[in-house]
């Protein structure tokens, strides 16, 4: 088994594009959630959302002019920004001749190129299929994001896309880790992206699981762990990490952000209280305990948790699952936070954006305060001492952080990150 470290990170998040802006936003509690006029016009009950502001990004630095022509897939734009930024952040270059056979990509998404697909649907329905152009397929195939990044960089190892709803991003990190640990690749660009817009978010609005009372106070709308949480704020964006074998990182003499010790992915089978949309608690607990086992640590070693904690009424259930799995509560419970108060629930992109935030916490020796949970839910306080809920950024250097994501389909993933030490 090879040790696996993180040597590059990149992010395109609603509250910051690029590491500097994103880290500042996390530390200072800068919200990326805004009132969305399009959602208002379309009669959404929830009219706030998290959408990266790419107005000031020079897309020519990421795409060539042919790629930019007719590009109408926000997920590909976000994913390419985050992915290429991570690659460069790791001190790696684009390949212009032979592909890099030792490097691959696992970049997940839930649904890709929805706006491009809409364009295509209008043309097809009008009997104009011949007018679709050459990029309808590549902008809407789920693996489009891996294909764009793989082609721009010149990757020659596994190039694929995973998809497991809101677990996607964290799962991509675990899958990349496993590929390197087993020796099948030296470097893996891992991450995920999620499109913006009414066609992605509409289904969640219809399920009545988004907040409706904060349309005039967008920055207050996403309230993880709060008694007044009333649904998750839909978000979008992308996060990316370059994972690399420790040998390779040491040979290249590049800075190491963190080590990944292992993790676990499983499913509750939509049994024992689990369903398409609810988690089987036993599976969540098993996922966490197996992640610890695989990482060869014990529950006591976990200094901090970055939860899934979406700001629905289910947040207290997640806390119970952590508490049961780690066999601790009250003041013994690790510090816990959620970044979704800052930028909402970025769906398939949430796990990867939050893994980038987790790695930044390890590097900076800080835990970032969860926004909008000044009124912690009483059921959470029955499990965890208030001092362990990180409501304001805390000068505390965690050695080990457990990051978990859970998704529709009753799927779970937990990854264990450690401060790097030789």
Q: Which stretch binds another protein (CB under 8 A): 106-114, 129-137, 168-176, 194-202?
A: 129-137
Q: Which stretch binds another protein (CB under 8 A): 39-47, 63-71, 142-150, 333-341?
A: 63-71
Burial of 169 per CB tally in 10 Å (0-12, 13-18, 19+): buried
Q: Which is nearer to another protein, 66 or 206 (CB)?
A: 66
Site string for another protein, 179-218 (x = CB under 8 A): ----------------------------------------
Q: Which is nearer to another protein, 134 or 300 (CB)?
A: 134
CA–CA distance, 373 with 172 (Å, rounded to integer) = 29
156 to 102, 138, 141, 188, 265: CA distances (angstroms): 7, 19, 20, 11, 26
By CB under 8 A, residue 134 contacts another protein: yes
**Least distance in Å: CB of 66 to another protein?**
6
By CB under 8 A, residue 133 contacts another protein: yes
Q: Which is nearer to another protein, 67 or 236 (CB)?
A: 67
**Least distance in Å: CB of 133 to another protein?**
5
Q: Which stretch binds another protein (CB under 8 A): 21-29, 128-136, 266-274, 308-316?
A: 128-136
**Least distance in Å: CB of 70 to another protein?**
8
Backbone Cα Rg of the chain: 20
Strand partners, 330: 384
Residue keyed to tokens 């990349």 = 176
Answer for which of 66, 121, 124, 129 binds another protein (CB under 8 A) is: 66
CB 219 within 8 A of CB 29: no
**Least distance in Å: CB of 144 to another protein?**
14
By CB under 8 A, residue 69 contacts another protein: yes
Q: Which stretch binds another protein (CB under 8 A): 108-116, 127-135, 262-270, 401-409?
A: 127-135
**Least distance in Å: CB of 64 to another protein?**
6
CA–CA distance, 172 with 192 (Å, rounded to integer) = 7
Answer for which of 2, 30, 35, 70 binds another protein (CB under 8 A) is: 70
**Residues sharing a CB contact under 8 Å with residue 133, sequence separation 6 or more, in sequence order:** 70
Answer for which of 24, 41, 131, 213 binds another protein (CB under 8 A) is: 131
Answer for which of 20, 64, 125, 422 binds another protein (CB under 8 A) is: 64
Residue keyed to tokens 């999620």 = 194
CB 359 within 8 A of CB 8: no
**Least distance in Å: CB of 135 to another protein?**
8
By CB under 8 A, residue 65 contacts another protein: yes
If binding means CB under 8 A, how many residues of this protein chain bind another protein? 9
By CB under 8 A, residue 24 contacts another protein: no
334 to 29, 272, 306, 380, 401: CA distances (angstroms): 21, 27, 10, 13, 9
72: number of Cβ within 10 Å: 18
Residues that bind another protein (CB under 8 A): 64-66, 69-70, 131, 133-135
């Amino acid at each position: 088994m090879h040790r696996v470290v993180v040597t590059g990170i990149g992010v395109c998040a609603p509250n910051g594009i690029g590491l500097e802006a994103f880290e500042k936003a996390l530390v200072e509690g800068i919200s990326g959630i805004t009132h969305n006029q399009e959602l208002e016009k379309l009669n959404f009950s929830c009219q706030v959302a998290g959408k990266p502001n790419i107005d000031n990004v020079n897309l020519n630095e990421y795409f060539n002019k042919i790629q930019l022509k007719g590009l109408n897939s926000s997920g590909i734009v976000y994913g390419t920004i985050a992915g290429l930024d991570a690659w460069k952040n790791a001190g790696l270059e684009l390949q212009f001749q032979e592909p890099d056979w030792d490097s691959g990509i696992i970049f997940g998404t839930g649904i890709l190129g929805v706006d491009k697909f809409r364009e295509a649907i209008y043309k097809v329905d009008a009997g104009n299929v011949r007018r679709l152009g050459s990029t309808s397929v590549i902008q809407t195939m789920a693996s489009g994001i891996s294909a764009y990044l793989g082609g721009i960089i010149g990757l020659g190892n596994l190039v694929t896309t995973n998809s497991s709803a809101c677990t996607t991003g964290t799962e991509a990190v675990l899958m990349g880790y496993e590929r390197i640990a087993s020796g099948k690749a030296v470097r893996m660009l891992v991450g995920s992206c999620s499109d913006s817009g009414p066609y992605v978010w509409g289904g969640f609005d219809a399920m009545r699981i988004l907040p409706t009372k904060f349309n005039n106070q967008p920055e207050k709308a996403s309230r993880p762990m709060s008694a007044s949480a009333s649904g998750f704020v839909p978000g979008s964006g992308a996060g990316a990490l370059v994972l690399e074998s420790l040998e390779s990182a040491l040979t290249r003499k590049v800075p190491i952000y963190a080590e990944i010790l292992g993790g676990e992915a499983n499913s509750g089978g939509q049994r024992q209280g689990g369903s398409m949309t609810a988690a089987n608690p036993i599976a969540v607990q098993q996922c966490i305990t197996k992640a610890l086992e695989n990482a060869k640590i014990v529950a006591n070693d976990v200094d901090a948790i970055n939860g899934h904690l979406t700001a629905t009424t289910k947040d207290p259930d997640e806390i119970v699952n952590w508490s049961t799995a780690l066999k601790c509560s009250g003041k013994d419970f690790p510090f816990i936070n959620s970044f979704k108060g800052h930028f909402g629930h970025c769906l398939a992109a949430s796990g990867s954006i939050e893994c980038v935030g987790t790695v930044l916490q390890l590097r900076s020796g800080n835990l970032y305060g969860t926004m909008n949970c000044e009124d912690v839910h009483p059921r959470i306080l029955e499990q965890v001492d208030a001092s362990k809920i990180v409501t304001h950024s805390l000068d505390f250097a965690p050695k080990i952080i457990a990051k978990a994501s859970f998704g529709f389909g009753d799927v779970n993933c937990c990854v264990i990150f450690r401060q790097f030490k030789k």
